[in-house]
Amino acid sequence: MQIQCRKINVTGVVQGVGFRPFVYHIATENGLCGYVKNTGNDVEIVAEGEIEDIEHFLHELQSKRPPLASVEQVRTKVSRVSGFSDFSILDSEQDESVRSIIPPDTAICSDCLRDMYDSKDRHFHYPFTSCTNCGPRYSMVSSLPFDRKNTSMAEFPLCLECSLEYKLPSDRRFHAQATCCPNCGPVLSLTNESGDVLASGHDSIVKCGELIDDGSIVAVKGYGGFHLVCDATSDRAVLKLRGSLNRPAQPFAVMAKDVENASSFACIDAEESSMLQSRQRPIVVLDKNDEFSLSDHTAPGLHNIGVMLPYSGTHHLLLDHTDSDVYVMTSANLPGLPMLIDNEEALLYLDKIADYFLFHNYAIGNRTDDSVIRLVNGKKAFIRRSRGFVPEKIELPFPIDPAIGVGPELNTTVTLARDNSAYVSQYIGNTRHFETAQYHRKVVSNLERLTKITPQRWGCDMHPDFNTTHFAQEQGGNNTVFVQHHYAHIVSLMVDNLLPADSSIIGIALDGAGYGEGGAIWGGEILEATYSGYERVAHLMEQPMPGGDMAAIYPSRMVLGMLHDVLEAEELRELPLWFKHGEPERDIVLQQLENGVNIVRTSSFARVLDSAAALLGVCHYRSYQGEPAMKLESVARKGVHDLDLPVVCKRGVLDTTSLLYGLYERLDSHEVCDLAYSIEDALAVGVAELAVSAAKKRNIDVIGLSGGVAYNEHIICRICEVVKDSGFEFLTHNRISCGDGGVSLGQAVVAGYSAFT
């Protein structure tokens, strides 16, 4: 019998996932002695025993890992035999040199649900029931290692029974940092808008359900912040919420009790069902079905709706105690501001919005909005990558120096990267607002602490007035790297698809706006890109925006700008458009165009879609980001005829005026849905043809698409069809957002890679 000792170091998502008890089990089953302990993110194992038993243990370390664990690397070396008499779990140690990975928040598991519904179990009707396989993680951690003392649960000392479970290696709650019960853990309380407590514990759930049934709006505190909740089947309740929030049309996400219930109002295929029921529990954007039974005011003017299933004990219990099986479940934040997480703040800011408040009394360490996913062209597309996915590692195709991407201005995230790993933060929001800019700084600080990455280079947007740009310059100084917005989109696409360092791609970047070369406003770009630079090889025609940003809010202004050179003044005055201040405003816009006053030019793809929406009477006012284009897509889905609008490309420029004029000529002779379908189709074909032409000239085999327009099913499918029919490989995103939430990754990689070039 030959006894050997191996020192084993395991890296990956191995904290807060029951990894040490798992190691203990398989070590004892294989007859090994030694120990296991946490050292930062690195789990250190010393195993003594027969060589064959150690080898079998190493195999099981990979093949039988806990469901939430992710093993990246296992390093072993032979060590001196110490003569351990048994195998034990040691206390954690902190190794400041090791990067740490905290698992994301995870939906309550079936075992904990069973405990929660078992009247003989001490967790009966206790909404904070969790174990090593489920519950909050990232949202409750303050520092590392991931021990209870470094989480929001530190203020809740374990009772005797919970302490026994916590210390027993054979129990699924062994070292589960969120372990608690009604005797020692957080509690729920229901208050009115003045903060007066009306009920506590399970009684607060029962009372809250009654209030929702009566049409009340309740602010409910969850894993990563507050939601505003009401009955999704009640027009009165939904309209009341819209009026309180001053959001006349922005779609609300809903929470359905289960997949069967969601199927009563939405179309769900197998993959969508799998996403809905996954442990991440994202919001999944689903098509409404013909029997749509919810209030039409949940997602007005759209063919689809965001749906999620309950992921916390509180959600499950609430849905058990109301008549409704579907709630509106929308983030409780004022427009552009971070999600609320503090009880006192919620009472202060939501007192005119929520009628009642369902609080819990543990502190949220990290805000995490719900993730949003949509299937586009048969692939998952992240609209927002946050709860359930952050801070999972994004693998890079090559190593880079320590770097950060601070994001753009809207829909911002930040990314920290080093070597072959990148960590994209949760959704942050609109950093124009002071509160969001401060939150942005906090996220950077937290992510630096958790990943132990100290950036040497700071990637940021080229726009000189962004708060994120100022922040990068302040922190990075001479190590600040300015990255063009659409180039960052394409680099993030290349990274998402693990293209190697020497790759070239023709990248299509389509969105609302980005700061281009010389201060121009870009948004419909064809770039030849590598990791070290880009060339703008084609683009949409640059169109006038009368009044600048006002034309993005009131797209009738864009229509006048795009058709000004092809229609007579009287024809422009007769266009069926809407202006906030009536016809005098139309006259002012026409004067601006005639005299070239207060005009900004843009190649934005989204502004062309906005113009089509206004010209067709689909949407005249943008009350939320992307509204005109989203409503145009919904109308176009009913279209069946391609009306062969003129696709004119000259010297690498797609003539969008000809397209809109073609739409204008057909207004009186065709259905609106067919016109909407045709303009989307023609734009997609024109962009694809520009990209194919550029790829042929430059002998590049790969064409890819990024930017917010890439959520449009019709447009992306049509571009894909043209590109593939021309013999080229076509790439889209799959691990990160194709919208501005992915820009920080591109910035970080460009900044970190620039050190090698």
What 3-state DSSP class applies to 63?
helix
**640 burial via Cβ count (<10 Å: 0-12, 13-18, 19+):** exposed
How far CA 153 is from CA of 157, 598, 676, in Å, comes to 8, 56, 53
Which residue, 746, 103, 738, is CA-closest to 404? Answer: 746
Sole residue written with tokens 């951690």: 141
- In terms of DSSP bridges, do strands 729-731 and 702-706 run parallel, antiparallel, or are they unpaired? parallel
Residues in a beta bridge with 535: 528
What is the distance between the alpha carbons of residues 36 and 90, in angstroms, rounded to a whole number? 6
Out of 6, 20, 384, 586, pick the active-site residue: 20
Out of 30, 38, 377, 712, pick the active-site residue: 38
What 3-state DSSP class applies to 46?
strand
Please state whether 506 falls in left (phi above 0), alpha (psi between -120 and 50) or beta. Answer: beta
| Residue 710, amino acid | A
What 3-state DSSP class applies to 53?
helix
What is the distance between the alpha carbons of residues 519 and 542, in angstroms, rounded to a whole number? 13
Contact, 8 vs 47, CB < 8 A? Answer: yes
The verdict on whether 38 is a catalytic residue reads yes
Contact, 410 vs 395, CB < 8 A? Answer: no
The verdict on whether 20 is a catalytic residue reads yes
Residue 722 DSSP code: H
Total length of the chain: 757
Q: DSSP labels for 350-402?
A: STTT-SEEEEESS--SS--PPPEEEEETTEEEEEE--TTTTTPEEEEEEEEEE
- Three-class DSSP labels, 391-402: CCEEEEEEEEEE
Q: What's the number of CA atoms in the CB half-sphere (13 Å) around residue 353?
A: 23
Angle, helices 556-563/656-665, rounded to nearest 10 degrees: 100
Alpha-helical regions (H) of 564-671: 569-574, 583-595, 605-615, 627-636, 656-665
What is the distance between the alpha carbons of residues 285 and 518, in angstroms, rounded to a whole number? 38
Q: What would the two tokens of residue 233 be? A: 């089947």
What is the distance between the alpha carbons of residues 701 and 723, in angstroms, rounded to a whole number? 10
What 3-state DSSP class applies to 35?
strand
Which residue, 396, 360, 421, 410, is CA-closest to 185? Answer: 360
Which residue, 76, 86, 168, 184, is CA-closest to 129? Answer: 184
Which residue, 327, 340, 279, 321, is CA-closest to 130? Answer: 279
How far CA 489 is from CA of 334, 510, 520, 706, in Å, comes to 28, 9, 17, 6
| Residues catalogued as catalytic | 20, 38
